[in-house]
Each structure stands twice: as structure tokens, then as C-alpha cells.
Structure 1
Amino acid sequence: MVEEAGKKIPDEGQESADIYAPQKKKDASPPSPRKVILIVDDKGSIRNIIKHDLEQAGYNTLEAADGLTAIEKALKEKVDLILLDVMMPKVDGLTVCKRLRQEERTKTMPIVLCTAKGQKEDIVSAMKVGADDYIIKPFTKATLLAKLEKFLGPNKMVEGNVPPSEDKPPTPSKPSPE
């Protein structure tokens, strides 16, 4: 190719469209969607501390101050994991957990119960109603993040976390091994 007075002239046999066609940049893979944690605790100060820690760690958060609101949000919003206090007014965390396990949309959603009650029978009760894990208050930010990462590792998206109003793209089928 020859340059003549600031213009590029194609070599013999090279189309001019090839020279002036815009170069495609390699697209970076789109960023992973931020995981959404539903924080359920009747104490606003505790919710605020947890919310601050989770948002600093790159999570999005939703909040509920009681069990009824937690059930409503878990069924309507996009939620990847629920951090659920056990002792709350209206409906306690064990009842919320049990109810969510009965719903198609939330039956496999990770639920981590958190409470000041750390007796063996409390933990057993939590597991019996379907909790995936249990964290005892007070806990450190590092402990909390380790529990969450157990379920929401950097490349894991939880099945069933798309709100009912959104359409899910079809899942490609894998050829069966022969």
C-alpha cells in the first residue's frame, strides 16, 4: 500500500473497502452481574452494617425488616441469596425458611440463617427447615463473606434468580455423549 498526500492507496488487487473498513475491537466479555443478597433482620442498625460490608465487597442488597416482607421480596425480586435472622416479629426466620422451601421459585435459593442463638439444637432446627448454612452473631465481615462465597463464588449464578417478569434466554442443549 502506498501513501500519497495523506491518502492510503490500495496495492494492486486490494480492495479499497478493505483499507477503510473500520477495525473491529475485540469485545471484552461483559461484566458478571452483581449478586443480590436479601438482608432480613428486624434491627435496622444490623441491616445497615451488613449492607455496608456487602456493598463494599461488590454485592447488591435488598432489605426486609420482618419475615412477611422477606417472603414477599424473595418471591418478587431478583435475589441470589438470603441472609435471614431467626428471631424477628410477625414471622420468625425458621418459618420464613420453611415457607420459601415450599415455593418453586425459592426452593433452591441459598438461605443462610444468622442469629445470636448458637446452641446445637438451634443449628439442627435451622437445617431441618431447609437452611443451607448458619452464622452466629456476632460475626466478622470475613466470616460473612466466606459464607456467602461458599454459595456465590465469582462465576456461579444461582438457578431461578430471574424475576418472574423477565424472560430467561433458552439454555443451549448439550449433545448427549455416545
Structure 2
Amino acid sequence: MSTVLVVEDSRSQRECISHQLSCSGLNIMQASDGVEALAQIEKKYPDLILLDIVMPRLDGYGVCSLIKAHPETRNIPVVFLTGKGQRLDLFARSMDSAEAYVSKPWLPRELLATIKKVLLHANIKFDRASADAWTEYGILNLSTIELYQSRADAWTNYSGQIIKLYDSSLAAFEQALAIEPSHSTANKYRHKVQTIRTILMKKLEQTRPCKICYYYHGKDGINCALHPGCRPQEVCRDWKFN
């Protein structure tokens, strides 16, 4: 049974699509936005990704770029869900990286037929990637960080995602160096990321999250008012609990 990851920020549309595909014999994973989609893919590689374009935090184009650049997920087919008003010609490069697209409002038969056709012709293989491929993926993660940091609320709302992207880029450069220890570009970027990440972690340590943060973090999109950029696994000294 093939597994499809449905990525859609509208809960009603996500549940509707998931129900339709599940009734057609497909195993379904769900994600409400691009960041959650990448986290789901880390846990388990799906056989196909059905990807909405307009989403909060990280849109479909950004997700698709990261998926297709990652040496271990680049062969997973992507089908875009596109709205009628979206100018596909403006995003031709991103669209070319996907295997197909389905317009909203979708027709269930068309959606299912497209997914089955793409799955039939999919050639998912996880071969050994080159040092250059891992380096390119690491650099793409850094480009995604720049998009986050350009926002006014970057560190209040996206600190967790920024740190995770730095971790992903660092891991990619280390993979490249494991394959080719003398790879100059990977070595240069690894050193750069290590330095920046150390500075950022010191910055985040200045505000330590608490159990109040742990309760609210991510729940219905609410962050703790005291520590909006919290990491919920930690307990701060501002609060004492029995």
C-alpha cells in the first residue's frame, strides 16, 4: 500500500482529501504546513507528497525545493495543489521540479488518477549521493534561513525553524565531508555555520523557556507571552513548580 503525505493548511480540505484517498486504498500521512511536512518526512519517507502551495511558515515551493535538493528524498514524487488564481508561469522552475499538479477545486477522480499515474511511473531509489549534492542541499537550507530572517518577527515566531535549518545544513556539509574530506566548499560552509550557530544559541540562552511555554508552545498556534521564542523541552528559572 502506497503512502501519501497530504500537506494542506486548510483542515477541512486536508481531511477531505485524506478521506478520499484513504477510501481509495492509500495510506495517508498529514501535515498542516511546510515545516510540519518536513518533520513528517524526517520520520518516514512517503511514496508521494501532495503539496499545497500557499501555506504559513514555509510555502509549497520552498518545501518542494528542499525535498528535491535533499539527496535522500529527491526522488520522492511531488504533486502540487494549485488555486485557480495562482500564476504558475511565475513559478515555472518550482513547478518543473514537481511531477504533476492538480487545480483547486479538485475533482476526486482527477486527483486520484493523477496520484496513481505518478506513483506508477515513480522511480524512488535511495542511492549514494555525491559530496556536491550534499553541499548544494546545505547551501539551499541557508538560503531558506535568509527568507525567515528577512521577516520582522523572525526570532519571536521562527527561532525553532531557523535553528533546525542550521542543524540540517551543518549535517549536510558533514555528510559531504564524510564522502570527500577535502571538499573545500563544504569545509568552508561547515565552519561558517558552526560559528553562526554558536552565536545564535548564546542569544537564545538569554531567554530560557518554562513549563508555561511547554504547555502553550505550538498549541493552536499560541506561544508563551513571556518567552515567545522558547524551546519547550527546557524549564527556565523564572518559575518554580512542586
Match of 1:135 in 2: 102
Q: Output aligned runs, 1:25-174, within 5 Å.
A: 34-116=1-83, 117-122=85-90, 124-128=92-96, 130-153=97-120, 158-160=124-126
Tell me, in whole angstroms, the C-alpha distance in 1 between the residues paired with 2:29 and 2:54: 19
Structure possessing the higher relative contact order (Cα contacts under 8 Å, 6 or more residues apart): 1
Tell me, in whole angstroms, the C-alpha distance in 2 between the residues paired with 1:86 and 1:79: 18
Contact 2:49–2:79 (8 Å) recurs in 1: yes
Instruction: Compare the two structures and name the one with the higher strand fraction.
Output: 1
Give, as a single letter, the amino acid of the residue that structure 1 aligns with 2:89: E
**So what's the TM-score if we normalise by structure 2?**
0.48
Instruction: Compare the two structures and name the one with the higher helix fraction.
Output: 2
Shift of 1:72: 1.5
Contact 1:67–1:90 (8 Å) recurs in 2: yes
Percent identity reads: 33
Shift of 1:102: 1.3
Unaligned runs of at least 5 residues, structure 2: 127-242
Unaligned runs of at least 5 residues, structure 1: 1-33, 161-178
Shift of 1:105: 1.7
Shift of 1:158: 3.5
Match of 1:163 in 2: none
* Count of aligned positions: 125
SS at structure 1 position matched to 2:18: helix
SS at structure 1 position matched to 2:61: helix
Higher radius of gyration, 1 or 2: 1
Shift of 1:97: 0.2
Match of 1:170 in 2: none
CA-atom RMSD in angstroms: 1.9
Tell me, in whole angstroms, the C-alpha distance in 1 between the residues paired with 2:5 and 2:36: 11
The more displaced of 116-125 and 103-112 is: 116-125
Give, as a single letter, the amino acid of the residue that structure 1 aligns with 2:64: C
Shift of 1:124: 1.9
Tell me, in whole angstroms, the C-alpha distance in 2 between the residues paired with 1:125 and 1:149: 24
